[in-house]
Amino acid sequence: MAVGTIHNKDAFINKISSKLGRDRNESVILPKWEHRPQFEVLKGASSDELAAAFKNNSLEKSTYVVETDAKNLASALEKVIEKYGGGQLVASNDQRFTEYGLDELLKQTKAHVWNPVLGEENIAVTKKANIGMFFSDAALAESGTVVQFNDKDIARSISLLPMAYVSIIPKSTIVPRMTQVAQAIHKSVEEGNNLATCINFISGPSNSADIEMNIVIGVHGPVEAVHVIVNDM
Amino acid sequence: MAMKIGDKPFFDRVDDALEDNFMRNAMAEAQDGLRGRKLKATVEDEQIGDWEEWRSAGEEIRRHTLENLDYYLNQLSENFARQGGHVYFAETAEDATRYIQDVAKKKNAKKITKAKSMVTEEIGLNQALEEIGCDVYETDLAEYILQIDDHDRPSHIVVPSLHKNKEKIRDTFRDKANYTGTSEPCELTAFARSQLRETFLEADIGVTGCNFAVAESGTISLVTNEGNANMVTTFPKTQITVMGMERLVPTWEELDVMINLLSRSAVGQKITTYVTNLTPQLEEDSIDAPNEFHLVILDAGRSNALGTEFQSALHCIRCAACVNVCPVYRHIGGHAYGSIYQGPIGAVLSPILGGYEEYGELPYASSLCAACTEACPVKIPLHEHLIKHRENYVEKKGMTAEKMAMKTFGIGASSPALFKLAVKGMPAVLGPLVKDDSISSGPGPMKLWTSVREFPAPGKGNFRKWFDDHKKGRNQ
């Protein structure tokens, strides 16, 4: 990967240091924060309690919730596809579909599995798709949020372009809130790892309250959202 | 265009606003709604614990970040460029727009999609891009409404089209975009979706603002609900993000706290529908991600606040919680401020960014009730900043009517003879203006007061005489 460019940095930053009344700061130690309320939210909650909170908060965000186990996941998804009218299904290129025994379902439904080799054809199919299906990498109980670490295979378009998104959430990945995901990302950065190009926190269908403060579900992103919680514990 | 709205003097803008009953009702309803949602998601939400602790956490993080802004901006830019992104530090709005114009020219860009961003509004980016022949598409619903209504200006930081009702929006869609539907918000929204769908996919460049940048990883975080920011940052091959230089956090751990404060304070949500975090891990063959990413970091007057008593104004996270509780904003609405930044934070920020000459009267658009300070999720002492601005403004202006009145009072009060004369003479001087024990049309400095309410007429007796009589009575 080529390194990018930086323009006008020194003059700009030196001016800031001068306005702050000192020489340029070359090293700063992050203080130990006195106030840390984020760690108290759902502290000590069991996985059942986290799943229950995740479910309630998803429902609050106009999201349909299904609870199932690994054995019945395929049939649960089949029912969801039927409920939302079938049509073109697009799935991310994710090994977990195989691990959870969903290859047959993808085949039966003639799903388009995202394939970087096909280039723009992926977008052409996805923009007409009815359902986009993907695994969530983490889920937030506090807000009914799913998290995607997008790359070439876990494409951004899948949760964005189709009329509905269906996210599969392994129960073991549900954490109290964004705090735990942010901590894990921070640790990964400290270890020198590069981040996914897009880390997307998604909480239900797109919406807006811009017209007279009326909440309208379905603006530019999906109009429907489904969270399928799979008991993998 | 850019930051300034309209050319009329401040008090004329206020007069216009006070006559606009629809706008005032809309503002009152919106304030009540937004304030109610915020309370439900903050002090009334038991799940998140003590909201005051969250506010203290926010204040602590913002103070530390601003005190070390030079360090964190350096870290952010190095991390962004290390991963292939391009960073441009812009001293002025003109520097920023020139750089973005150059990028657009190099890319031979024709179609540009934009997510909602106050900072691009501040620098007049749309106009700059249109000048070089680009078509710019606002994609946030409220911004889209304003754009097709002959580039109307925002009246609220979070909900820019708050001053328009659904019938007005329907008429605008009909007149400007051949809309044939009703005024139902669902139908109007579906129309905007259909109008912009293909444009998202065809755009050459996507432009966004920045809610927060994360210094440790070179990440840009966007907080949205409609999905348009995701569209804007997914399909164009070039992305340009413009950020005010103060909008960053040290690490992801602080980002977590700020996202919570912003989502709950701005729109009363536990988290917005999308929190999209973009890092320039650029791949030439990416299908649905940009392969060129520019970050423009803007000063444009912000550094005027650094090292001064106004530094904490830069802690602002643009949630508009202060706007939503301000009794003055409730009555005069957003456009009366004459700045794209309205309400208490607008009255504090606009003079910092644009100077007292242009915005010096804005700090007077406050009752100093301190509701804004109490509402601020990062504890900016807004009403104290407003008082300090007023002091600076009066000092800068020299002999103003206010100052002259105070000076005259000072002379009078320091001389017993003059004071006695003035007290005795007041009923006689104001006598011709008195009707039914009050004055409804006062002269000079009284004029502003009496234009909205009556002023009680001076009593016919005076305190000194009453006191002498009283004393005599007690001694008898």
Nearest to B271 among A34, A145, A209 (CB): A145
Q: Mean pLDDT, chain B, as a whole number?
A: 90
User: Does residue A155 lie within any of the structural domains?
Assistant: yes
Question: Tokens for B103?
Answer: 């990028």
For B438, other C-beta atoms within 10 Å of its C-beta total 13
pLDDT digits (tens, 9 = 90+) for B11-59: 888 888 888 888 888 889 889 999 999 999 999 999 999 999 999 999 9
Across the range B230-246, mean pLDDT stands at 97
| Residue to substitute from B273, B296, B299, B378, interface A, most A β-carbons within 10 A | B273
User: Does residue A187 lie within any of the structural domains?
Assistant: yes
The pLDDT of residue B407 is above 70:
no
Q: How confident is residue B424, by pLDDT bands cut at 50, 70 and 90?
A: low
Listing DSSP states for B126-168 in one string gives HHHHHHTT-EEEE-SHHHHHHHHTTSPPPSSSSSTTTT--HHH
Across the range B393-410, mean pLDDT stands at 70
User: Does residue A196 lie within any of the structural domains?
Assistant: yes
pLDDT digits (tens, 9 = 90+) for A71-116: 999 999 999 999 999 999 999 999 999 999 999 999 999 999 999 9
Across the range B178-198, mean pLDDT stands at 93
User: Does residue A170 lie within any of the structural domains?
Assistant: yes
- Which stretch of B59-68, B306-315, B406-415 has the lowest confidence by average pLDDT? B406-415
The pLDDT of residue B354 is above 90:
yes
The amino acid present at B164, given as its one-letter code, is K
Q: How confident is residue B355, by pLDDT bands cut at 50, 70 and 90?
A: very high
pTM of the complete model beyond 0.80: yes
| Residue to substitute from B60, B287, B306, B324, interface A, most A β-carbons within 10 A | B287
What pLDDT is recorded for position B469?
83
pLDDT digits (tens, 9 = 90+) for B59-110: 999 999 999 999 999 999 999 999 999 999 999 999 999 999 999 999 999 9
Nearest to B227 among A122, A195, A219 (CB): A219
Higher pLDDT: B470 or B145? It is B145
Distance in angstroms (rounded) separating the CA atoms of residues A165 and B223: 19
What pLDDT is recorded for position B466?
80
What pLDDT is recorded for position B6?
84
What pLDDT is recorded for position B405?
66
- Which stretch of B32-36, B256-260, B349-353, B472-476 has the lowest confidence by average pLDDT? B472-476
pLDDT digits (tens, 9 = 90+) for B249-279: 999 999 999 999 999 999 999 999 999 999 9
Q: How confident is residue B428, by pLDDT bands cut at 50, 70 and 90?
A: low
A72 CB-contact burial (10 Å; exposed 0-12 / middle 13-18 / buried 19+): middle
Q: Is A117 on the interface with B (CB under 8 A)?
A: no
What pLDDT is recorded for position A73?
98
**What is the distance in angstroms between the Cα of A148 and the nearest Cα belonging to chain B?**
10
The pLDDT of residue B476 is above 60:
no
Q: Is B249 on the interface with A (CB under 8 A)?
A: no
Half-sphere exposure of B294 (CA within 13 A, CB side): 25
Distance in angstroms (rounded) separating the CA atoms of residues A231 and A106: 21
CA separation (Å) from A206 to A160, B103, B139, B188? 9, 31, 13, 15
Q: Is A122 on the interface with B (CB under 8 A)?
A: yes
Is A209 close to B159, i.e. CB distance below 8 A? yes
Q: How confident is residue A231, by pLDDT bands cut at 50, 70 and 90?
A: very high
**What is the distance in angstroms between the Cα of A71 and the nearest Cα belonging to chain B?**
31
Q: How confident is residue B211, by pLDDT bands cut at 50, 70 and 90?
A: very high
Across the range B420-444, mean pLDDT stands at 71
Do B116 and B156 contact (CB within 8 A), yes or no? no
Structural domain including A177 reads 48-231
What pLDDT is recorded for position B404?
61
What pLDDT is recorded for position B155?
86
User: Does residue A13 lie within any of the structural domains?
Assistant: no
Q: Which domains does chain B have, with CATH numbers?
A: 51-303 (3.40.50.10420), 401-475 (no CATH)
What pLDDT is recorded for position B429?
64
The pLDDT of residue A223 is above 70:
yes
CATH of the domain at A130: 3.40.50.10420
Distance in angstroms (rounded) separating the CA atoms of residues B336 and B17: 6
User: Does residue A107 lie within any of the structural domains?
Assistant: yes
Maximum pairwise Cα distance, chain B: 103
What pLDDT is recorded for position A180?
98
Nearest to B89 among A9, A156, A209 (CB): A9
The pLDDT of residue B1 is above 60:
no
Domain count, chain A: 1
For B466, other C-beta atoms within 10 Å of its C-beta total 11
Per mean pLDDT, which of B10-19, B155-164, B369-378, B412-421 is the most reliable? Answer: B369-378
Distance in angstroms (rounded) separating the CA atoms of residues B338 and B364: 13
The pLDDT of residue B173 is above 90:
yes
Q: Is A13 on the interface with B (CB under 8 A)?
A: yes
User: Does residue A127 lie within any of the structural domains?
Assistant: yes
The pLDDT > 70 percentage for chain A reads: 100
Nearest to A8 among B88, B196, B286 (CB): B88
Q: Is A26 on the interface with B (CB under 8 A)?
A: yes
Distance in angstroms (rounded) separating the CA atoms of residues B6 and B335: 8
**What is the distance in angstroms between the Cα of B260 and the nearest Cα belonging to chain A?**
9
The pLDDT of residue B221 is above 80:
yes
A-chain residues within 8 Å CB-CB of B78?
Answer: 6
The pLDDT of residue A46 is above 80:
yes
- Identify the DSSP state of A148: E
Q: How confident is residue B231, by pLDDT bands cut at 50, 70 and 90?
A: very high
User: Does residue A60 lie within any of the structural domains?
Assistant: yes
Q: How confident is residue B165, by pLDDT bands cut at 50, 70 and 90?
A: confident
Nearest to B250 among A15, A30, A210 (CB): A30
Is A178 close to B74, i.e. CB distance below 8 A? no
The pLDDT of residue B318 is above 60:
yes
Q: Is A157 on the interface with B (CB under 8 A)?
A: yes
The pLDDT of residue B445 is above 70:
no
